[in-house]
Structure 1
Amino acid sequence: MKKFFHSSAAKIIVLLLAVLLVCTLYLSYKTYGNWAFALELRGKKLLAFIFVGVAAAFSTISFQTMTQNHFLTPNILGLDSLYVFIQTLLFFILGGQQLLGKETIGTFLINVLLMVAASIVLSRFLLRKGSNDLFLLLMIGIILGTFFNSISTFLQVVMDPNEYDLLQGKLFASFGNVNSQHLMIAGVLITLLVGFLWMKSATLDVLHLGNDQATSLGVDVPRFQFILLTVISGLIGLSTALVGPVTFLGFIVANMSYQLMGTYRHRDLFLGGSLLSILLLVFGQFLVEQVFQLNTTLSIVIEFGGGLYFVGKIISERKQRG
């Protein structure tokens, strides 16, 4: 019995019960009998939490396995910066009021495709042979992120102040104004991509041993890395286009799941990370709405907490090595 409670299955069951409890609390707290209204308003947010949380957990854990580094996240490829650049450019050229008034499924998919296409182009030209190409890809991702940020900042400086004010609402993660049509499309696509990573869990387990060991065990590492980067880019692109950039979420839940699950079996890590992600998002939004009275946003809480956790992990690693 004691061995069972220390197993991955028991930890996942406890996390699942915690998620169900927090979700029930979030949906039912202060509804004052207006269940239909509460479910319509909060239910859409809850679905967004689930999709974004699962996408962040699966993509970050897979990316960290591929790079053999627990400090890196897929956002290092510059996808967040590319999203900011695309939104800034569209607002600058077309105008914020016209763009916000004509948000269609097409514009949503264009945002996703542009971000995925940029990552595929990088992967295609740089991930060929040899482990060094992967780190070259990461370095170029950082450079491109800086480049996109510089152009975005310049356009925002010369932009009309009213347009800039509207733009800010698109550049920060927001779960309150999720488009229902976009949510359903993103949900279907995220489910397909997550399903692919779930089926490739055994290959990821082997890749965790290192590129040389994976190659000797029959894995075509360059090809698998390319497919993996495409899927990861799709997950990050979908979640970013749906609610906006949430940089530190994946880093937090991935590293917490490593510590909590105590295993490197990816199916256990995927389940644990996804449940942790949903738990943090739903409980965080509950605090934002009911405790802080909407005086702050969930994205600010995540970024602040994630930054502290990142610094704390660096200090902890240095102490262990020292």
Structure 2
Amino acid sequence: MSERHLSATPGVPSAAPRDERPAEPHAVPPDAGKRVPAPDGRRGLPAAVRLGLAAVLAAASIGAFLFLFIEGSFEFAFERRLTMFGTMAVVAFAQAVATVVFQTITHNRLLTPSIMGFDAVYILMQTLLVSLFGGSVLAATDGTPKLLTQTLLMVGFTMLLFGWLFSGRQGSLHVLLLVGVVLGLAFRSLSDFLQRLLSPAEYDVLSARLFGRLSSAEAEHLPLAGAVCLIVGAVIWQRRYRLDTLLLGRDTATNLGIAHKRELMVMLLLISVLIAMSTALAGPMTFFGFVTAMLAYQLAGTHRHVVVLPMAFLIGLITLAGGQFVMEHVFYASGMLTVVIEFLGGAVFLIHLLRKGTL
């Protein structure tokens, strides 16, 4: 049957007329053939090259700190520097890794684990020791038992807080952060009150323990601290792809098969262990983790934790080892590194906050 007969048949819709005009050629976009950046934002050098450069710079900083400008007995100076480097490695790993993971689960690159009140708990414990037993108790109780006790107390406090806030259906990370801020302020206020009741001599002894210090850690503490970091680091590294999934948000991560609440609790426990160990070993360092995490994201060129986590650790090593070398041999102020880091870190935090406009 012809097309004319079909169009004339009642009840049968007629076929649309054909367009006999030749088809116009498709316009070629101006950027065709150009390399499009990957979805995670990688540009320039590959991630492996970036990590290699950071590793070389970290090795150079460590070598300069350990071997250059040694005066007097080489064995004595090298042993002292080696102990300090062990403390740097533990602090750099704990602070950098914990901050990156904490920012991942909170979806906020301005927050740090210190907002949970770790520093305030440490300060309150030291203040209570001096208030109850006198200033000499700090030196008399130094050792592995005290390190373990402080770490367990800080981890126990945070786990009680986590268990209480996440026990019900309405458990919220934002409520947890708010409660951590409030408790941190309360603990600091109580510490300030107790410090005002101390004698000037006892207050001087206490104040020396309330700042980050890399040179006062004992060599006997490092095997325990290093073992804890290795175990926690292995668990976090095993879950690195789950951390990438958590970046997508709670609903998306749940749809992809991640038990969001359980994963959140595990990560918060690991963070609390790392920060508690670092604080008990070298004292509170509020903004060091923030600086290393921020630089790691900038220099890694990607959000993938397989790159960001080692990059943050390497940047922490460069900051501590290279900074200590510069402070000792350029500015002749070997004990001021942590003060400078906290000052510059606080300034960078405020600038970052003002540029972003919100937490």
TM-score interval (norm. to shorter): over 0.9
| 3-state DSSP of counterpart to 1:170 | coil
| 3-state DSSP of counterpart to 1:297 | helix
| 3-state DSSP of counterpart to 2:209 | helix
Out of 315, 318, 338, the position equivalent to 1:299 is 338
- Which stretch of structure 1 is more off in the superposition, 128-137 or 68-77? 128-137
What per-residue deviation string (whole Å, max 9, x for no partner) do you get for residues 50-79 of structure 1? Answer: 111011111000000000000000110000
Residue in structure 2 matched with residue 173 of structure 1 by the alignment? 212
Deviation at 1:84, TM superposition (A): 0.2
Counterpart residue type for residue 20 of structure 1: A
Contact 1:85 1:148 (C-alpha < 8 Å) held by counterparts: yes
- Which stretch of structure 1 is more off in the superposition, 293-302 or 210-219? 293-302
Deviation at 1:83, TM superposition (A): 0.3
Residue in structure 1 matched with residue 64 of structure 2 by the alignment? 25
Structure 1 vs Structure 2: percent identity of aligned residues?
35
Deviation at 1:128, TM superposition (A): 4.8
Measure, in 1, the Cα distance between the counterparts of 2:76 and 2:266: 42
Residue in structure 2 matched with residue 280 of structure 1 by the alignment? 319
Measure, in 2, the Cα distance between the counterparts of 1:131 and 1:283: 46
Change (3 A) 1:128 1:268: farther
Residue in structure 1 matched with residue 9 of structure 2 by the alignment? none
What per-residue deviation string (whole Å, max 9, x for no partner) do you get for residues 17-64 of structure 1? Answer: 001111111112211474322220101111111111011111000000
Q: TM-score, normalised by structure 1?
A: 0.94
Measure, in 1, the Cα distance between the counterparts of 2:239 and 2:96: 15
Measure, in 2, the Cα distance between the counterparts of 1:60 and 1:4: 24
Structure 2 gaps of 5+ residues are 1-41
Deviation at 1:213, TM superposition (A): 0.6
Out of 109, 113, 117, the position equivalent to 1:78 is 117
- Which stretch of structure 1 is more off in the superposition, 262-271 or 26-35? 26-35
> Which has the higher Rg, Structure 1 or Structure 2?
2
Contact 1:5 1:11 (C-alpha < 8 Å) held by counterparts: no
Contact 1:131 1:211 (C-alpha < 8 Å) held by counterparts: no
Out of 137, 162, 187, the position equivalent to 1:98 is 137
Measure, in 2, the Cα distance between the counterparts of 1:288 and 1:31: 15
Deviation at 1:4, TM superposition (A): 10
Measure, in 1, the Cα distance between the counterparts of 2:320 and 2:351: 21
- Which stretch of structure 1 is more off in the superposition, 180-189 or 95-104? 95-104
Contact 1:129 1:222 (C-alpha < 8 Å) held by counterparts: no
Residue in structure 2 matched with residue 10 of structure 1 by the alignment? 49
- Which stretch of structure 1 is more off in the superposition, 32-41 or 194-203? 32-41
| 3-state DSSP of counterpart to 2:172 | helix
Contact 1:60 1:250 (C-alpha < 8 Å) held by counterparts: yes
Contact 2:165 2:171 (C-alpha < 8 Å) held by counterparts: no
Measure, in 2, the Cα distance between the counterparts of 1:253 and 1:93: 37
Measure, in 1, the Cα distance between the counterparts of 2:137 and 2:164: 37
- Which stretch of structure 1 is more off in the superposition, 24-33 or 154-163? 24-33
Residue in structure 1 matched with residue 190 of structure 2 by the alignment? 151
1:116 aligns with 2:155: yes
* Matched length: 317
In the TM superposition, what are the counterparts of 1:111-260 in structure 2 within 5 Å?
Answer: 111-128=150-167, 133-260=172-299
Change (3 A) 1:60 1:140: same
Measure, in 1, the Cα distance between the counterparts of 2:90 and 2:254: 33
Counterpart residue type for residue 52 of structure 2: I
Instruction: Give the helix-richer structure, 1 or 2.
Output: 1
Counterpart residue type for residue 315 of structure 1: L
Counterpart residue type for residue 311 of structure 1: L
Counterpart residue type for residue 319 of structure 2: L
Q: CA RMSD in A?
A: 1.8
- Which stretch of structure 1 is more off in the superposition, 126-135 or 23-32? 126-135
What per-residue deviation string (whole Å, max 9, x for no partner) do you get for residues 81-132 of structure 1? Answer: 1100001001111222133123121111110011111110111111257787
Change (3 A) 1:317 1:131: farther
Structure 1 gaps of 5+ residues are none
- Which stretch of structure 1 is more off in the superposition, 66-75 or 285-294? 285-294
Runs ≥4 residues deviating over 4 A: 128-132
- Which stretch of structure 1 is more off in the superposition, 118-127 or 231-240? 118-127
